[in-house]
Amino acid sequence: MTNSKDLLKKSIKGIAEYVPGKSTEDIVAGYGLRPEDIVKLGSNENPLGPSTRAVEAVRTMADSISVYPSVDAGELRRALAAYVGYPEDMVVMGAGMDGVVDTLMRLFVQPGTSAIIPTPTFSYFEIALRAAGGTPVFVKRQDDYSVPIKTIISSIEDSTRLIYLCSPNNPSGNTIPEDDVRALVKSTNAIVFLDEAYVEFASKSLVGLVSEYDNLVVGRTMSKAMGLAGLRIGYAVVPNWIFREYMKATTPFAISRIAVAAGLAALDDVDYREKTIDNVDVGRKFLTEHLSGYCRVYQSEGNFILIDVSPKKSKDVVEMLLKKGIIVRDCTSFRDAGDGLVRITVGTPDQNKLVVDALQGTLGS
Ligand SMILES: Cc1ncc(COP(=O)(O)O)c(C=O)c1O
C-alpha cells in the first residue's frame, strides 16, 4: 500500500506558500504594541475603513445567514455588470479575484500546459497555476517594470493557456499601454488575463477591450476601492463563451449573503468611492514628493507606492518601521524583486505623515 503522503499531487510540492502583508495581530504579539498604535500599510487595504452603508447592510443581513445565498450572486453580478458597462452574461464572480483565478485555472490548466507571468508581480496567479498542475514561464519586466511585450509574444508556445498581466501592477504600480495589450491578444489564442484590481485608482481601464476579443479576460475586485477586502468579492469580465463554461465549473454559493448585501451597498455608495480615490490621489502625491529626496519612488497608479531603498536592505527598513508600529511590505518575497524594494499602501493624511517621518529618519541616516 502506498504512503498517504505519496498521493499528493507533485505540482503542490513546488508551491511557495502565499506571503501576505503582516497583520495587526502579528505586530501586537511580536513587538508589544497596542492595536490602536499600529498603522497598517502593508496590504493595500482601504485606510478609510468600510463604507458605512456596507456596514449597515451587513447588520441588516445578519438575521438571515441560516439561508443559502443565491447560487451565482445574481443580484450583485447584475449590479457589477452595470458598473462595468457589460451585459450580465459577461460577468463572473468568485471569492475574491483569487477565487475567479481558481476557476479559470480549472477551465484552462492541466499538467503539460503553461502560463506566462511577467515578474515581479502579484503571486497568487503562479500559486493557482501550479496547484492546477500548470507550469509557469516567467518573463522579467524591464528596469522600469514595463512589460517587454515582444518577449512575451515570442515566449508563447503550443502549451501556453494563459498570460497574466497586472495593471496597475502590484508591486510596481505602473500600467500597461493599450497597444501592448491589443498586440498581445491579437498574437495568440491563449487567454490573456488582465488583472485590474487597482484600476479605480488609475487613469484608465482597458475593460472595454473585452467586447472586441475572444481571448481577453479582465479581473476586478471589491477589496480595494470598494473597501471590502474582508468579505472576499471578486469578479471578471469575460467573453460570453467563457461565461458559459465558467458557470459550469465554479464553486456554487461562493459569495455569501453578507457579501452580496455589502457589495450592493458599497457599489451604490459613490461618495465613499470618490473619497477613497481622492484620498489616494492626494496621499500618493504627498508620499512621492516627500520621499523622492531619500530614495527612488516609482510612479504609481495604484493605492500604493513602491520605493527602492538600496543599498539598504528592504527587510531592515521594514523592521525599523515595524518597531514604530508601521506595517509596510518588504517585497523580497515577490519573485525577481530583489532585496531593496518596499511597497507602501497610501494611508490617511496622518498615516502618510507618520510613514514619511519614519522613513526620512531611517533613509536619511
Ligand atoms: C494585483 C492583485 N490582484 C488580485 C488581488 C486579490 O484580490 P482579492 O482580494 O479580490 O482576492 C490582489 C490583492 O492584493 C492584488 O494585489
Domains delineated in the chain: 4-49+271-364 (3.90.1150.10), 52-268 (3.40.640.10)
Dmax over CA atoms of the chain, in Å, equals 65
Rg of the chain in Å (alpha carbons): 21
Res 1: pLDDT: 65
Query: Residue 108: how many CB atoms within 10 A of its CB?
Result: 19
Q: Cβ(228) to ligand 1 under 6 A?
A: no
Q: Cβ(258) to ligand 1 under 6 A?
A: no
Asked if 61 and 254 count as a contact pair (C-beta separation under 8 A), the reply is: no
Q: Cβ(172) to ligand 1 under 6 A?
A: no
**Distance (Å, rounded) from C-alpha 94 to C-alpha 251?**
8
Res 346: pLDDT: 98
Crossing angle of the two packed helices 124-131 and 96-108, in degrees rounded to 10: 40
The one-letter amino acid code at 253 reads F
Asked if 43 and 229 count as a contact pair (C-beta separation under 8 A), the reply is: yes
Residue nearest to atom 2 of ligand 1 (CA): 197
Q: Cβ(46) to ligand 1 under 6 A?
A: no
Residue nearest to atom 3 of ligand 1 (CA): 197
Asked if 304 and 344 count as a contact pair (C-beta separation under 8 A), the reply is: yes
Q: Among residues 111, 110, 177, 112, which one has the least CA distance to residue 142?
A: 177
CA 153 to each of CA 177, 211, 216: distance values in angstroms, whole numbers, following the listed order:
15, 22, 15
Asked if 225 and 34 count as a contact pair (C-beta separation under 8 A), the reply is: no
Asked if 280 and 303 count as a contact pair (C-beta separation under 8 A), the reply is: yes
Res 29: pLDDT: 84
Phi, psi for residue 8 in degrees, rounded to 5: -60, 135
Q: What is the mean pLDDT of each run of 10 residues along the chain (365 residues)?
A: 87 89 87 90 97 98 96 97 98 98 98 98 97 97 98 98 98 98 98 98 98 98 98 98 98 97 98 98 98 97 98 97 96 97 98 97 86
Q: By CB neighbour count within 10 A (0-12 exposed, 13-18 middle, 19+ buried), where does 177 fall?
A: middle
CA 21, 268, 208 angle in degrees (round to 5)?
75
Res 19: pLDDT: 87
Of ligand 1's listed atoms, the one at least distance from the Cα of 223 is 9
Res 189: pLDDT: 98
**Cα of 293 from ligand 1 centre, angstroms:** 30
Q: Is the peptide bond before 50 cis (omega within 30 degrees of 0)?
A: no
**Distance (Å, rounded) from C-alpha 127 to C-alpha 102?**
10
Residue nearest to atom 8 of ligand 1 (CA): 96
Which of 117, 121, 122, 300, when mutated, tests ligand 1's pocket best, judged by the most ligand atoms within 8 Å of its CB?
122
